[in-house]
Structure 1
Amino acid sequence: MPAPDVTHYIGDELTLFEKATNWKSYYGNKLKPHLKGRVLEVGAGIGGTTLSLCDGTQADWLCVEPDADLAANIQDLLNSGQLPACCRLHTGLLADLPATDLYNAILYIDVIEHIEHDAAELARAYEHLAPGGVLLIIVPAHQWLFSPFDKAIGHFRRYSRTSLLRVMPPQSKILQASYLDSVGMLASTANKLLLKQSNPTLKQIKFWDTMMVPISRFTDKLLLHNFGKSVLVIAQKS
Protein backbone atom coordinates (compact mmCIF):
# COMPACT_ATOMS: atom_id res chain seq x y z
CA MET A 1 0.00 0.00 0.00
CA PRO A 2 1.25 3.54 -0.70
CA ALA A 3 2.39 5.58 2.28
CA PRO A 4 -0.27 8.00 3.57
CA ASP A 5 0.12 11.61 2.51
CA VAL A 6 0.80 13.32 5.84
CA THR A 7 0.87 16.73 4.16
CA HIS A 8 -2.84 16.56 3.33
CA TYR A 9 -5.43 15.97 6.05
CA ILE A 10 -8.42 14.01 4.75
CA GLY A 11 -10.82 14.90 7.56
CA ASP A 12 -13.26 17.81 7.56
CA GLU A 13 -14.42 17.67 11.18
CA LEU A 14 -12.06 20.25 12.68
CA THR A 15 -14.41 23.19 12.30
CA LEU A 16 -17.15 21.16 14.02
CA PHE A 17 -15.04 20.20 17.03
CA GLU A 18 -13.79 23.77 17.31
CA LYS A 19 -17.27 24.47 18.76
CA ALA A 20 -16.74 21.96 21.59
CA THR A 21 -15.81 24.61 24.15
CA ASN A 22 -16.81 22.59 27.23
CA TRP A 23 -14.67 19.65 26.12
CA LYS A 24 -11.69 21.90 25.46
CA SER A 25 -12.15 23.51 28.86
CA TYR A 26 -12.40 20.11 30.57
CA TYR A 27 -9.18 18.62 29.26
CA GLY A 28 -7.55 22.05 29.19
CA ASN A 29 -7.84 22.34 32.96
CA LYS A 30 -5.80 19.16 33.27
CA LEU A 31 -3.12 20.31 30.83
CA LYS A 32 -2.69 24.01 31.63
CA PRO A 33 -0.54 23.52 34.77
CA HIS A 34 2.06 21.98 32.46
CA LEU A 35 1.89 24.61 29.70
CA LYS A 36 4.78 26.78 30.78
CA GLY A 37 7.99 27.96 29.17
CA ARG A 38 8.40 26.68 25.63
CA VAL A 39 5.47 24.68 24.22
CA LEU A 40 5.34 22.65 21.02
CA GLU A 41 1.94 21.69 19.60
CA VAL A 42 2.19 18.93 17.00
CA GLY A 43 -0.68 18.61 14.54
CA ALA A 44 -2.10 22.02 15.37
CA GLY A 45 -4.77 21.77 12.65
CA ILE A 46 -6.70 25.02 12.20
CA GLY A 47 -5.56 26.43 15.54
CA GLY A 48 -8.60 25.57 17.66
CA THR A 49 -6.57 23.94 20.42
CA THR A 50 -4.06 26.79 20.36
CA LEU A 51 -6.82 29.34 20.82
CA SER A 52 -8.16 27.35 23.75
CA LEU A 53 -4.90 26.60 25.60
CA CYS A 54 -2.36 29.30 24.77
CA ASP A 55 -2.94 32.25 27.11
CA GLY A 56 0.15 34.28 26.24
CA THR A 57 2.03 33.50 29.47
CA GLN A 58 4.25 30.98 27.69
CA ALA A 59 7.70 32.04 26.53
CA ASP A 60 7.17 30.39 23.15
CA TRP A 61 4.41 28.34 21.50
CA LEU A 62 5.27 26.63 18.22
CA CYS A 63 2.40 25.23 16.15
CA VAL A 64 3.54 22.43 13.85
CA GLU A 65 1.07 21.49 11.10
CA PRO A 66 2.00 19.51 7.94
CA ASP A 67 -1.10 20.41 5.91
CA ALA A 68 -0.50 23.77 4.22
CA ASP A 69 -4.22 24.53 3.90
CA LEU A 70 -4.83 23.95 7.61
CA ALA A 71 -1.68 25.88 8.51
CA ALA A 72 -2.99 28.84 6.54
CA ASN A 73 -5.83 29.12 9.06
CA ILE A 74 -3.30 29.40 11.87
CA GLN A 75 -1.39 32.03 9.92
CA ASP A 76 -4.60 34.02 9.55
CA LEU A 77 -5.09 33.85 13.34
CA LEU A 78 -1.53 35.09 13.82
CA ASN A 79 -1.92 37.89 11.28
CA SER A 80 -5.17 39.08 12.85
CA GLY A 81 -3.75 39.06 16.38
CA GLN A 82 -6.21 36.42 17.62
CA LEU A 83 -3.31 34.32 18.90
CA PRO A 84 -0.84 35.66 21.49
CA ALA A 85 2.47 37.12 20.38
CA CYS A 86 4.35 34.09 21.74
CA CYS A 87 2.81 31.86 19.02
CA ARG A 88 4.72 30.80 15.90
CA LEU A 89 3.90 28.49 13.00
CA HIS A 90 5.94 25.80 11.27
CA THR A 91 4.30 24.21 8.24
CA GLY A 92 5.85 20.77 8.29
CA LEU A 93 6.69 17.91 10.62
CA LEU A 94 8.32 17.40 13.98
CA ALA A 95 11.16 15.69 12.11
CA ASP A 96 11.98 19.02 10.42
CA LEU A 97 12.96 20.71 13.68
CA PRO A 98 16.61 20.94 14.75
CA ALA A 99 17.62 18.28 17.26
CA THR A 100 18.76 21.04 19.63
CA ASP A 101 15.28 22.62 19.71
CA LEU A 102 13.97 21.69 23.18
CA TYR A 103 10.58 22.34 24.80
CA ASN A 104 9.07 22.21 28.27
CA ALA A 105 5.82 20.70 26.99
CA ILE A 106 4.87 18.91 23.78
CA LEU A 107 1.18 18.53 22.91
CA TYR A 108 -0.51 15.82 20.84
CA ILE A 109 -4.25 16.46 21.07
CA ASP A 110 -6.12 13.87 18.98
CA VAL A 111 -3.09 13.47 16.74
CA ILE A 112 -1.20 10.25 17.57
CA GLU A 113 -4.01 8.09 16.19
CA HIS A 114 -3.35 9.68 12.77
CA ILE A 115 0.33 8.64 12.81
CA GLU A 116 1.15 5.17 11.51
CA HIS A 117 4.39 4.74 13.45
CA ASP A 118 3.21 6.12 16.77
CA ALA A 119 6.02 4.80 19.00
CA ALA A 120 8.69 6.26 16.70
CA GLU A 121 6.91 9.63 16.70
CA LEU A 122 6.73 9.74 20.49
CA ALA A 123 10.37 8.70 20.81
CA ARG A 124 11.30 11.60 18.52
CA ALA A 125 9.14 13.97 20.59
CA TYR A 126 10.84 12.79 23.79
CA GLU A 127 14.19 13.85 22.35
CA HIS A 128 12.80 17.37 21.94
CA LEU A 129 11.86 17.63 25.61
CA ALA A 130 13.99 19.68 27.97
CA PRO A 131 14.85 17.89 31.24
CA GLY A 132 11.68 17.78 33.33
CA GLY A 133 9.54 18.50 30.27
CA VAL A 134 6.28 16.66 29.61
CA LEU A 135 4.45 14.94 26.78
CA LEU A 136 0.72 15.77 26.92
CA ILE A 137 -1.35 13.31 24.89
CA ILE A 138 -5.07 12.81 24.27
CA VAL A 139 -6.31 10.07 21.95
CA PRO A 140 -9.67 8.38 21.21
CA ALA A 141 -10.26 5.31 23.36
CA HIS A 142 -11.12 1.66 22.66
CA GLN A 143 -10.40 -0.09 19.40
CA TRP A 144 -13.80 -1.81 19.56
CA LEU A 145 -15.32 1.66 19.05
CA PHE A 146 -13.47 2.11 15.73
CA SER A 147 -16.18 3.40 13.39
CA PRO A 148 -16.71 4.77 9.86
CA PHE A 149 -15.99 8.19 11.38
CA ASP A 150 -12.51 7.03 12.49
CA LYS A 151 -11.81 5.64 9.04
CA ALA A 152 -13.10 8.76 7.28
CA ILE A 153 -10.71 11.07 9.12
CA GLY A 154 -7.62 8.88 8.78
CA HIS A 155 -7.32 7.15 12.14
CA PHE A 156 -4.98 4.16 12.17
CA ARG A 157 -6.32 2.99 15.53
CA ARG A 158 -7.96 3.86 18.81
CA TYR A 159 -6.23 3.20 22.15
CA SER A 160 -6.76 1.68 25.51
CA ARG A 161 -4.83 3.14 28.42
CA THR A 162 -2.58 0.08 28.29
CA SER A 163 -1.90 0.26 24.56
CA LEU A 164 -1.03 3.95 24.73
CA LEU A 165 1.38 3.38 27.62
CA ARG A 166 2.95 0.58 25.59
CA VAL A 167 4.10 3.02 22.88
CA MET A 168 5.31 5.73 25.26
CA PRO A 169 9.10 6.19 25.48
CA PRO A 170 10.15 3.57 28.05
CA GLN A 171 12.42 6.01 29.89
CA SER A 172 9.57 8.46 30.53
CA LYS A 173 7.90 8.84 33.93
CA ILE A 174 4.12 8.51 33.70
CA LEU A 175 2.50 11.25 35.78
CA GLN A 176 -1.07 10.51 34.74
CA ALA A 177 -2.92 7.93 32.62
CA SER A 178 -6.69 8.42 32.69
CA TYR A 179 -9.88 7.94 30.75
CA LEU A 180 -12.02 11.03 30.10
CA ASP A 181 -15.65 11.59 29.10
CA SER A 182 -17.50 8.57 30.45
CA VAL A 183 -20.90 9.90 29.32
CA GLY A 184 -19.58 10.80 25.87
CA MET A 185 -18.62 7.16 25.46
CA LEU A 186 -22.33 6.42 25.18
CA ALA A 187 -22.51 8.67 22.12
CA SER A 188 -19.51 6.93 20.57
CA THR A 189 -21.10 3.55 21.24
CA ALA A 190 -24.38 4.67 19.64
CA ASN A 191 -22.53 5.84 16.54
CA LYS A 192 -20.64 2.56 16.33
CA LEU A 193 -23.68 0.31 16.75
CA LEU A 194 -26.58 2.34 15.35
CA LEU A 195 -25.81 5.54 13.46
CA LYS A 196 -22.56 4.43 11.76
CA GLN A 197 -21.92 7.99 10.61
CA SER A 198 -18.72 9.04 8.87
CA ASN A 199 -19.13 12.54 10.30
CA PRO A 200 -21.17 13.97 13.20
CA THR A 201 -23.51 16.89 12.68
CA LEU A 202 -23.09 20.27 14.35
CA LYS A 203 -26.26 19.57 16.33
CA GLN A 204 -24.79 16.33 17.66
CA ILE A 205 -21.51 18.02 18.60
CA LYS A 206 -23.36 20.76 20.48
CA PHE A 207 -25.55 18.22 22.31
CA TRP A 208 -22.51 16.19 23.38
CA ASP A 209 -20.56 19.27 24.41
CA THR A 210 -23.32 21.10 26.28
CA MET A 211 -25.17 18.14 27.83
CA MET A 212 -22.75 15.20 28.11
CA VAL A 213 -19.36 16.74 28.85
CA PRO A 214 -20.52 18.66 31.97
CA ILE A 215 -21.96 15.42 33.39
CA SER A 216 -18.74 13.58 32.52
CA ARG A 217 -16.78 16.02 34.68
CA PHE A 218 -18.73 14.57 37.61
CA THR A 219 -19.06 10.92 36.60
CA ASP A 220 -15.41 10.59 35.58
CA LYS A 221 -14.43 11.34 39.17
CA LEU A 222 -16.94 8.79 40.50
CA LEU A 223 -15.49 6.18 38.15
CA LEU A 224 -11.92 7.13 39.13
CA HIS A 225 -11.20 7.92 35.46
CA ASN A 226 -11.34 4.22 34.55
CA PHE A 227 -13.97 4.62 31.82
CA GLY A 228 -14.31 7.07 28.93
CA LYS A 229 -14.09 7.76 25.22
CA SER A 230 -10.66 9.44 25.38
CA VAL A 231 -7.34 8.57 26.99
CA LEU A 232 -5.12 11.21 28.59
CA VAL A 233 -1.45 10.52 29.32
CA ILE A 234 1.05 12.93 30.83
CA ALA A 235 4.64 11.67 30.74
CA GLN A 236 7.74 13.45 32.05
CA LYS A 237 11.35 13.39 30.94
CA SER A 238 13.68 12.69 33.83
Structure 2
Amino acid sequence: MREPIGEETLRRVAEMDRVTAWIAELVLAEAGRRVIEVGAGMGTFTTRLLPRERLVAVEPNLDHSSRLRELERKHPCLSVVEADFTHDDCRALSAERCDTIVCLNVLEHIADDARALANMYHLLAPGGRALLLVPALRRLFGTLDTFLYHHRRYEMSELAEKVSAAGFVVKKLAYFNLFGMVGWWWNARVRRVEILPAGQLALYNRLAPVFRRIEAWTGPPIGQSLWAVAEKPER
Protein backbone atom coordinates (compact mmCIF):
# COMPACT_ATOMS: atom_id res chain seq x y z
CA MET A 1 0.00 0.00 0.00
CA ARG A 2 1.33 3.43 -0.95
CA GLU A 3 2.45 5.63 1.92
CA PRO A 4 0.47 8.91 2.23
CA ILE A 5 2.06 11.74 0.27
CA GLY A 6 2.63 13.89 3.34
CA GLU A 7 4.46 11.09 5.15
CA GLU A 8 6.56 10.27 2.11
CA THR A 9 7.45 13.93 1.67
CA LEU A 10 8.51 14.24 5.32
CA ARG A 11 10.70 11.18 4.92
CA ARG A 12 12.38 12.57 1.80
CA VAL A 13 12.93 15.98 3.37
CA ALA A 14 14.41 14.36 6.49
CA GLU A 15 17.12 12.87 4.27
CA MET A 16 18.15 16.34 3.02
CA ASP A 17 20.76 16.88 5.71
CA ARG A 18 22.48 19.85 4.05
CA VAL A 19 19.23 21.74 3.53
CA THR A 20 18.23 20.94 7.11
CA ALA A 21 21.57 22.29 8.34
CA TRP A 22 21.02 25.49 6.34
CA ILE A 23 17.62 26.11 7.94
CA ALA A 24 18.95 25.11 11.35
CA GLU A 25 21.65 27.77 11.01
CA LEU A 26 18.94 30.44 10.75
CA VAL A 27 17.04 29.02 13.72
CA LEU A 28 20.00 28.48 16.05
CA ALA A 29 21.23 32.03 15.50
CA GLU A 30 17.97 33.29 17.05
CA ALA A 31 16.84 30.54 19.46
CA GLY A 32 17.04 30.99 23.21
CA ARG A 33 17.38 28.44 25.99
CA ARG A 34 13.71 27.54 26.53
CA VAL A 35 12.05 26.53 23.28
CA ILE A 36 8.67 25.28 22.10
CA GLU A 37 8.69 23.67 18.66
CA VAL A 38 5.27 23.81 17.00
CA GLY A 39 4.58 20.91 14.65
CA ALA A 40 7.71 18.91 15.40
CA GLY A 41 6.73 16.19 12.91
CA MET A 42 9.21 13.33 12.76
CA GLY A 43 11.80 15.26 14.76
CA THR A 44 13.97 16.40 11.84
CA PHE A 45 14.63 19.79 13.47
CA THR A 46 14.01 18.70 17.04
CA THR A 47 17.36 16.93 17.07
CA ARG A 48 19.04 20.15 15.86
CA LEU A 49 17.58 22.08 18.80
CA LEU A 50 19.14 19.72 21.33
CA PRO A 51 20.65 20.12 23.85
CA ARG A 52 18.70 22.98 25.43
CA GLU A 53 17.71 24.05 28.94
CA ARG A 54 14.13 23.14 28.01
CA LEU A 55 12.59 21.93 24.75
CA VAL A 56 8.90 21.14 24.28
CA ALA A 57 8.00 19.42 21.00
CA VAL A 58 4.32 19.95 20.18
CA GLU A 59 2.89 17.51 17.62
CA PRO A 60 -0.80 16.58 17.08
CA ASN A 61 -0.08 13.53 14.90
CA LEU A 62 0.00 10.47 17.17
CA ASP A 63 2.29 8.47 14.87
CA HIS A 64 4.82 11.28 14.85
CA SER A 65 4.57 11.96 18.57
CA SER A 66 5.27 8.29 19.33
CA ARG A 67 8.54 8.59 17.36
CA LEU A 68 9.38 11.78 19.20
CA ARG A 69 8.91 9.98 22.51
CA GLU A 70 11.84 7.73 21.63
CA LEU A 71 13.93 10.89 21.47
CA GLU A 72 12.35 12.15 24.69
CA ARG A 73 13.61 9.09 26.58
CA LYS A 74 17.19 9.97 25.64
CA HIS A 75 17.04 13.68 26.50
CA PRO A 76 15.73 14.77 29.93
CA CYS A 77 15.32 18.37 28.73
CA LEU A 78 12.80 17.29 26.06
CA SER A 79 9.06 16.87 26.56
CA VAL A 80 6.63 15.78 23.84
CA VAL A 81 3.11 17.22 23.95
CA GLU A 82 0.25 16.05 21.73
CA ALA A 83 -1.70 19.24 21.09
CA ASP A 84 -3.36 21.33 18.40
CA PHE A 85 -1.98 24.85 18.41
CA THR A 86 -5.31 26.37 17.37
CA HIS A 87 -6.92 25.12 20.61
CA ASP A 88 -6.66 27.23 23.71
CA ASP A 89 -5.67 24.12 25.70
CA CYS A 90 -2.12 24.65 24.45
CA ARG A 91 -1.98 27.86 26.49
CA ALA A 92 -1.25 25.70 29.52
CA LEU A 93 2.28 25.59 28.10
CA SER A 94 2.77 29.15 29.36
CA ALA A 95 4.07 27.47 32.53
CA GLU A 96 7.16 26.53 30.49
CA ARG A 97 8.22 30.22 30.42
CA CYS A 98 9.60 29.80 26.91
CA ASP A 99 11.70 32.50 25.25
CA THR A 100 11.48 31.02 21.74
CA ILE A 101 8.83 29.38 19.59
CA VAL A 102 10.01 27.58 16.46
CA CYS A 103 7.43 26.97 13.72
CA LEU A 104 8.94 25.63 10.48
CA ASN A 105 6.71 24.90 7.49
CA VAL A 106 3.69 24.40 9.74
CA LEU A 107 1.62 27.61 9.68
CA GLU A 108 0.44 26.97 6.11
CA HIS A 109 -1.20 23.72 7.27
CA ILE A 110 -3.32 25.51 9.88
CA ALA A 111 -6.69 26.83 8.71
CA ASP A 112 -6.91 29.42 11.49
CA ASP A 113 -3.36 30.71 11.38
CA ALA A 114 -4.39 33.89 13.21
CA ARG A 115 -5.43 31.81 16.24
CA ALA A 116 -2.17 29.86 16.12
CA LEU A 117 -0.14 33.09 16.07
CA ALA A 118 -2.21 34.49 18.95
CA ASN A 119 -1.47 31.37 21.00
CA MET A 120 2.24 31.68 20.23
CA TYR A 121 2.14 35.27 21.46
CA HIS A 122 0.38 34.19 24.65
CA LEU A 123 2.95 31.49 25.42
CA LEU A 124 6.06 33.60 24.93
CA ALA A 125 7.69 35.47 27.77
CA PRO A 126 8.01 39.23 27.15
CA GLY A 127 10.96 39.78 24.84
CA GLY A 128 10.59 36.24 23.48
CA ARG A 129 10.66 35.45 19.77
CA ALA A 130 8.67 33.38 17.30
CA LEU A 131 10.80 31.98 14.47
CA LEU A 132 8.66 31.26 11.42
CA LEU A 133 9.39 29.63 8.07
CA VAL A 134 6.47 29.53 5.63
CA PRO A 135 5.99 28.95 1.88
CA ALA A 136 6.05 32.18 -0.11
CA LEU A 137 4.19 33.59 -3.11
CA ARG A 138 0.57 32.76 -3.96
CA ARG A 139 1.45 32.42 -7.62
CA LEU A 140 3.56 29.35 -6.80
CA PHE A 141 0.56 27.52 -5.32
CA GLY A 142 0.05 24.28 -7.25
CA THR A 143 -0.39 20.54 -7.04
CA LEU A 144 2.39 20.07 -4.49
CA ASP A 145 0.62 22.47 -2.12
CA THR A 146 -2.72 20.77 -2.69
CA PHE A 147 -1.42 17.28 -1.95
CA LEU A 148 0.44 18.54 1.14
CA TYR A 149 -2.80 20.14 2.44
CA HIS A 150 -1.46 23.68 2.37
CA HIS A 151 -4.18 26.25 3.01
CA ARG A 152 -2.06 29.03 1.54
CA ARG A 153 1.28 30.39 0.47
CA TYR A 154 2.14 33.77 1.97
CA GLU A 155 2.90 37.11 0.44
CA MET A 156 5.44 39.08 2.46
CA SER A 157 2.94 41.81 3.30
CA GLU A 158 0.32 39.24 4.37
CA LEU A 159 2.67 37.52 6.81
CA ALA A 160 3.81 40.85 8.23
CA GLU A 161 0.19 41.92 8.79
CA LYS A 162 -0.84 38.65 10.46
CA VAL A 163 2.19 38.58 12.73
CA SER A 164 1.65 42.22 13.72
CA ALA A 165 -2.07 41.63 14.30
CA ALA A 166 -1.16 38.94 16.85
CA GLY A 167 0.80 41.59 18.79
CA PHE A 168 4.33 40.84 17.60
CA VAL A 169 6.95 43.27 16.37
CA VAL A 170 8.55 42.02 13.15
CA LYS A 171 12.32 42.04 13.65
CA LYS A 172 13.28 40.19 10.46
CA LEU A 173 11.33 39.27 7.35
CA ALA A 174 13.14 37.96 4.29
CA TYR A 175 12.85 35.60 1.35
CA PHE A 176 14.66 32.30 1.59
CA ASN A 177 15.61 29.60 -0.92
CA LEU A 178 15.71 31.37 -4.28
CA PHE A 179 16.81 28.33 -6.27
CA GLY A 180 14.25 26.04 -4.64
CA MET A 181 11.55 28.35 -5.96
CA VAL A 182 12.41 27.32 -9.53
CA GLY A 183 12.00 23.63 -8.73
CA TRP A 184 8.70 24.21 -6.94
CA TRP A 185 7.31 26.22 -9.86
CA TRP A 186 8.40 23.57 -12.37
CA ASN A 187 6.95 20.66 -10.43
CA ALA A 188 3.83 22.26 -8.93
CA ARG A 189 2.75 24.59 -11.73
CA VAL A 190 4.18 23.13 -14.95
CA ARG A 191 4.51 19.37 -14.44
CA ARG A 192 1.75 19.35 -11.79
CA VAL A 193 3.17 16.39 -9.88
CA GLU A 194 1.89 15.09 -6.53
CA ILE A 195 5.25 14.85 -4.78
CA LEU A 196 8.73 16.30 -5.25
CA PRO A 197 10.88 13.77 -7.15
CA ALA A 198 13.46 12.06 -4.94
CA GLY A 199 16.21 12.51 -7.54
CA GLN A 200 15.67 16.27 -7.72
CA LEU A 201 15.70 16.54 -3.92
CA ALA A 202 18.96 14.59 -3.71
CA LEU A 203 20.57 16.87 -6.32
CA TYR A 204 19.34 19.98 -4.55
CA ASN A 205 20.70 18.67 -1.26
CA ARG A 206 24.14 18.21 -2.82
CA LEU A 207 24.10 21.76 -4.18
CA ALA A 208 22.65 23.33 -1.03
CA PRO A 209 26.03 24.55 0.35
CA VAL A 210 26.59 26.53 -2.86
CA PHE A 211 23.08 28.05 -2.76
CA ARG A 212 23.59 28.82 0.92
CA ARG A 213 26.75 30.84 0.23
CA ILE A 214 25.12 32.72 -2.65
CA GLU A 215 22.12 33.72 -0.52
CA ALA A 216 24.35 34.72 2.40
CA TRP A 217 26.30 36.96 0.04
CA THR A 218 23.49 38.58 -1.94
CA GLY A 219 20.26 38.17 0.03
CA PRO A 220 17.60 36.73 -2.31
CA PRO A 221 15.15 39.26 -3.83
CA ILE A 222 12.53 36.51 -3.94
CA GLY A 223 12.31 32.89 -2.84
CA GLN A 224 10.36 29.72 -2.20
CA SER A 225 9.92 30.59 1.49
CA LEU A 226 9.68 33.49 3.91
CA TRP A 227 11.77 33.61 7.08
CA ALA A 228 10.43 35.75 9.91
CA VAL A 229 11.63 36.64 13.40
CA ALA A 230 8.78 38.13 15.44
CA GLU A 231 9.29 39.52 18.94
CA LYS A 232 6.83 39.88 21.80
CA PRO A 233 7.40 43.36 23.22
CA GLU A 234 8.74 43.79 26.75
CA ARG A 235 6.10 44.98 29.19
Task: Give TM-score, length-normalised by structure 2.
Answer: 0.89
Q: Which range is displaced more, 165-174 or 137-146? A: 165-174
Name whichever structure is richer in helix by fraction.
2
Identity across matched positions, percent: 25
Per-residue CA distance 1:34-91 (angstroms, 9 max, x = gap): 222210001111111101x2131x2110001011111111112333x3xx33111001
Equivalence for 1:91: 82
CA apart distance, 1:112: 0.2
- Distance between the aligned counterparts of 2:119 and 2:5, measured in 1? 24
Question: What is the root-mean-square deviation of aligned Cα atoms in Å?
Answer: 1.8
- Distance between the aligned counterparts of 2:168 and 2:60, measured in 1? 26
Q: Is 2:115 aligned against 1:124?
A: no
CA apart distance, 1:10: 7.1
Per-residue CA distance 1:127-175 (angstroms, 9 max, x = gap): 1100110000001111111111111111000112211112114332211
Q: Any conservation in 2 of the 1:139–1:158 contact (CA below 8 Å)?
A: yes
Structure 2 residue runs of 5 or longer lacking an equivalent are none
CA apart distance, 1:100: 3.6
- Distance between the aligned counterparts of 1:59 and 1:78, measured in 2? 14
- Distance between the aligned counterparts of 1:148 and 1:168, measured in 2? 27
Question: Residues 76-115 of structure 1: matches in 2 within 5 Å?
Answer: 76-79=70-73, 81=74, 84-94=75-85, 95-97=88-90, 98=92, 100-101=94-95, 102-115=97-110
In structure 1, the residue corresponding to 2:21 is in which secondary structure? helix
- Distance between the aligned counterparts of 2:79 and 2:58, measured in 1? 9
Distance 1:158 1:188, change over 3 A: same
- Distance between the aligned counterparts of 2:77 and 2:140, measured in 1? 38
CA apart distance, 1:202: 2.2
- Distance between the aligned counterparts of 1:104 and 1:27, measured in 2? 19
Match of 1:195 among 168, 191, 195: 191
Q: Is 2:141 aligned against 1:150?
A: no
Equivalence for 1:68: 62
Q: Any conservation in 1 of the 2:34–2:99 contact (CA below 8 Å)?
A: yes
Q: Any conservation in 1 of the 2:24–2:45 contact (CA below 8 Å)?
A: no
Match of 2:204 among 208, 211, 220: 208
Q: Which range is displaced more, 214-223 or 158-167? A: 214-223
In structure 2, the residue corresponding to 1:235 is in which secondary structure? strand
Letter in 2 for 1:89: V
Structure 1 residue runs of 5 or longer lacking an equivalent are 1-8
